[in-house]
Structure 1
């Protein structure tokens, strides 16, 4: 006997559209209604012609379709049709389908207009030849995906690797002309003698104009002005005046963040003020790539190691401003490079002496990685390998540390599938500790 095929099941006289939607109509009625309602809600993300065919196919079957499925299909048809007509089965609406061809994959009108108004490199790329030639070779301003890649699905469920060879910008002090230097000195004096928020707004406007005027040397100019000396209450005014939410200049945005926020965070000895953090988080969220290179990297590379207040600041920025996949890539870059090149982060020149090329493994640093793991950040296998190496070294330095023990318990619980090859080494490291959590950690390891 010949095996039954898909073609045998479907009547040869059936239309191709009915073959396409047969599987949807085999689902329970409530599921069909929900699927069609979802397509109505997100119709802009789907091909308009396909959605129209789907709605018509459902409505044309007047006998076996549930009332709520019909209702959802009618709503979908009303949304995707050019006119909100009522469905009439006797009408031939094939002519409307022809008007839908090509709409879904077409070039947006705004892009067509920009391309037509300028001598662009490519029709779909609104960048002129002159603009392309002006790009600096040592500046990386690509999409955020160049910094952090999303999760790559595979057999081991690991994340994609990160290109760690990217260089950002040289941040050594560049001499500026005498007039600019005098202007910066005047702005610095006005900043130190600030009396009211009204005067702060005027000062910020002058600083912004000077930064735009000396765009390439804005870090040097900001280093002369020393905006980090402003009171925490003035920081919201500085950030709102200097940073535009639509600002897409990565270098200028990074320079502003590292000159206002970074110096205040680098010298923290007690928890950061609520005013400072409340002002910083929204702008780090909008400009998250700049926040990574101008705030997070220098902070975590503190030459003396991070303390608890700095750990709290980094934790909050990662939790509230970075996607978990971005946070994973950030950890991978930190853990898997032997040294972080000074050109891969941005730091104000006056504070470069507080930043090193390597992380210093203190108890708060292990606490930071525990906070990251608790934020459901999935580390890559190579990141886990490096953490195991540092755990082996730290187990002799922090044998009775409760923070270190809490990190180990969290590490073993969250990364169990990636720790199978390190089970023996980790057991030896945990054996060096003497906290009341040691037995719990060993028990977790035995169950891997």
Structure 2
């Protein structure tokens, strides 16, 4: 019981117990090999004799009596609900049959169940049960027959069959001595076949190719066919005037045809057309109709973003128009990788730093278009400090508006606060980088409420991860003088 006191304390006091308990569990496994998930389930299901009063009895003098319940049922209802919610959240760490048995016993016990306890128990049961639910009703929860082969920690059948063969390096590893030697070519792993790795490498190579073309000035020096140049000049004149939606749709088709079907480089042609000069209404129609969804993500879709939307947003000083933001969100939902490399990276790396208007737009794109895991990876690249991880796509004529380094403004800290509030789990490296920026920026933003709110959010949401930086954060916060300074110091003191 003593080894689980800290975990139970998290369920009782933490504002976000699921993620904090999951982190504690990982750290405990690393620190102690004797702590297991099975022992935690055993603790929850440990039988206890408890004294209860039958509230359904009509006699007011009905004497109390004892009932045999599980240990989890002796806890307050709120704590029970939090524990069951955590088990559903982190169910991969536990045996599915154990979780099913626990949820089933909670729902069918001999005690009255609180509404929220019942709700989280049902959610847990739904999360670990099979889709047809038929086996749950017929399952003998007191026995383990017919499910031995599907135990949580047992080897899969195919691995057992491979392990039964001879000439194996290890009895549980289905690899022969010859195969092992053939793969150990001075520690390289080039022979490993993994379709996902190949796809990532292909996309990374494509990104490097596009970025290198821009950085080396190949696009500016491209020789353009005079006929294409003349047609581009004509289109440049037409996009400055919005006649009708149907005419603008035709204009989008003409731009697409000229860029993709004439053999010229699309970025070069777009640089001649200058579609970013169109008003917001024309731009929203263009970006909604210039793609058909069949293009390579880091090709034409990224060119569209960096030539129509990016230049407008880079010089944004007032809140963006609703029509432009709506078109941007809808486009980025479909072309997520293009949105990262042709819009988010160059916007956040703006040479003057982002302002409130740019912060609002990027926050909406991140929240509405990207998965939290993708945002976490994006932030890791952004904060790493390595230029190779911050590659982006833009036209040469706009490169002077973008830097290779992050410029930390109040709005930048506010953007990362919005990201943390979006339940994005940043990596430890990213947290370390943010803490370092807080320490370096404290004196500069000592009166900034946005800076203070970010630090408070960082300490509140990432408490366990910033615990090792407690002293440096305390020193930094002591240099500030905002409405939240005392709250931050109080949070740090409680870590």
- What band does the TM-score fall into relative to the shorter chain? 0.5 to 0.7
What is the SS of the residue equivalent to 2:208? coil
Contact 1:164/1:333, CA 8 A, preserved across alignment: no
When normalised by structure 2's length, the TM-score is 0.59
Q: What residue number does 1:311 align with?
A: 359
Q: What residue number does 2:285 align with?
A: 237
Structure 2 residue aligned with 1:296, among 344, 350, 354?
A: 344
Structure 2 residue aligned with 1:212, among 260, 268, 285?
A: 260
Contact 2:206/2:298, CA 8 A, preserved across alignment: no
Contact 2:336/2:370, CA 8 A, preserved across alignment: yes
What is the SS of the residue equivalent to 1:250? coil
**1:196 pairs with 2:240:** no
Q: What residue number does 1:440 align with?
A: 487
**1:167 pairs with 2:208:** yes
Contact 1:341/1:357, CA 8 A, preserved across alignment: no
Structure 1 residue aligned with 2:420, among 373, 379, 391?
A: 373
Q: What residue number does 1:264 align with?
A: 312
Structure 2 residue aligned with 1:39, among 94, 109, 131?
A: 131
CA deviations 1:55-101 (Å, max 9, x no partner) are 7x988x9xx99xxxxxxxxxxxxxxxxxxxxxxxxxxxxxxxxxxxx
Structure showing greater relative contact order (alpha-carbon pairs closer than 8 Å, 6 or more residues apart): 1
**1:355 pairs with 2:402:** yes
Q: Cα distance, 1:252 vs. partner?
A: 1.0
Cα distance in structure 2, aligned partners of 1:341 and 1:334: 7
Cα distance in structure 2, aligned partners of 1:209 and 1:165: 22
RMSD of aligned C-alpha atoms? 3.4
Structure 2 residue aligned with 1:337, among 360, 369, 385?
A: 385
Cα distance in structure 1, aligned partners of 2:269 and 2:202: 28
Structure 1 residue aligned with 2:476, among 418, 429, 443?
A: 429
Q: What residue number does 1:152 align with?
A: none
Contact 2:235/2:273, CA 8 A, preserved across alignment: yes
Matches within 5 A, 1:19-418: 27=104, 39-40=131-132, 167=208, 169=210, 170-171=213-214, 172=217, 173=219, 174-214=222-262, 217-339=265-387, 344-418=391-465
Contact 1:144/1:289, CA 8 A, preserved across alignment: no
Cα distance in structure 2, aligned partners of 1:373 and 1:199: 43
Contact 1:315/1:372, CA 8 A, preserved across alignment: yes
Closer, same or farther in 2 for the Cα pair 1:177/1:381, shift >3 Å?
same
Give the paired residue count: 322
Cα distance in structure 1, aligned partners of 2:425 and 2:341: 21
When normalised by structure 1's length, the TM-score is 0.65
Matches within 5 A, 1:9-28: 27=104
Cα distance in structure 1, aligned partners of 2:99 and 2:441: 56
Q: Cα distance, 1:275 vs. partner?
A: 0.5
Q: Cα distance, 1:168 vs. partner?
A: 5.0
Q: Cα distance, 1:183 vs. partner?
A: 1.4
What is the SS of the residue equivalent to 1:244? coil
Structure 1 unaligned spans of 5+ = 1-20, 42-53, 66-139, 148-162
Closer, same or farther in 2 for the Cα pair 1:420/1:260, shift >3 Å?
same
Q: Cα distance, 1:257 vs. partner?
A: 1.1
Q: Cα distance, 1:437 vs. partner?
A: 1.1
CA deviations 1:365-422 (Å, max 9, x no partner) are 0111111111111111111111111111111111111111111101111111111221
Q: What residue number does 1:117 align with?
A: none
Cα distance in structure 2, aligned partners of 1:374 and 1:305: 21
Structure 2 unaligned spans of 5+ = 1-95, 109-121, 142-195
